[in-house]
Amino acid sequence: MDGNGRWAKERGLPRSAGHQAGADTAQDIVTSCRKLNISVLTLYAFSMENWTRPKEEVQFLFDLLIRFLRREQKKLVDNSIRLNVIGDWQKFSFPVRKAIGQTLERTAHCDQMTLNLALNYSGREEILKACRSLAASGVPEEEITEEAFRGHLYTAGQPDPDLIIRTSGELRLSNYLIFQAAYSEFYFTKTLWPDFSEQELHAALEDYRQRSRRFGGIE
Ligand code: IPE
Ligand code: MG
- The model carries a pTM of 0.97
Strands in the chain per DSSP E: 40-47, 81-86, 113-121, 163-166, 185-188
Longest dimension (CA), the chain: 58
Query: For the domain that residue 170 is a member of, what is the CATH number?
Result: 3.40.1180.10
pLDDT greater than 90 at residue 103: yes
- Ligand 1 near 9 CB (within 6 A): no
Ligand 1 contact via 6 beta carbon (within 6 Å): yes
Whether 80 is covered by a domain: the verdict is: yes
Whose Cα sits closest to atom 5 in ligand 1?
46
Q: Is residue 64 part of a domain?
A: yes
Q: Any idea which residues carry the catalytic annotation? A: 2, 50
| C-alpha of residue 166 to centroid of ligand 2, in Å | 10
| Residue 192 alpha carbon, nearest atom of ligand 1 | 14
Q: How far is CA 19 from the centre of its chain?
A: 15
Rg (CA), the chain: 18
Closest CA to 127 of 159, 85, 155: 155
Domains held by the chain: number: 1
Closest CA to 115 of 124, 123, 104, 127: 104
Q: Which domain holds residue 82?
A: 4-206
Let me know: does 212 contact 25? Beta carbons within 8 Å: no
- Cα of 43 vs centre of ligand 1, distance in Å, is 13
Q: Which whole number is the average pLDDT over 187-194?
A: 98
Q: How far apart are CA 101 and CA 97, in angstroms?
A: 6
- The pLDDT tens digits for 109-132 are 999 999 999 999 999 999 999 999
Tens digit of each residue's pLDDT (9 = 90 or more) over 31-87: 999 999 999 999 999 999 999 999 999 999 999 999 999 999 999 999 999 999 999
Q: Is residue 217 part of a domain?
A: no
Residue 109, pLDDT score: 98
Q: Is 158 a domain residue?
A: yes
Residue 123: the pLDDT is 98
Residue 219 lies in a domain: no
Domain presence at residue 216: no
Residue 97 lies in a domain: yes
For residue 174 and ligand 1, the question of a CB distance below 6 A is answered with no
> 187 alpha carbon to ligand 2 midpoint, in Å?
16
pLDDT (tens digit per residue) in 12-33: 999 999 999 999 999 999 999 9
pLDDT digits (tens, 9 = 90+) for 137-184: 999 999 999 999 999 999 999 999 999 999 999 999 999 999 999 999
Task: Answer whether 1 contacts ligand 1 (Cβ < 6 A).
Answer: yes
- Is residue 12 assigned to a domain? yes
Beta bridge partners of 81: 113
Whether pLDDT at 219 is above 90: no
Mean pLDDT rounded to a whole number for the chain: 98
Distance 144 CA to ligand 1 centre (A): 37
From the alpha carbon of 170, which atom of ligand 1 is closest? 12
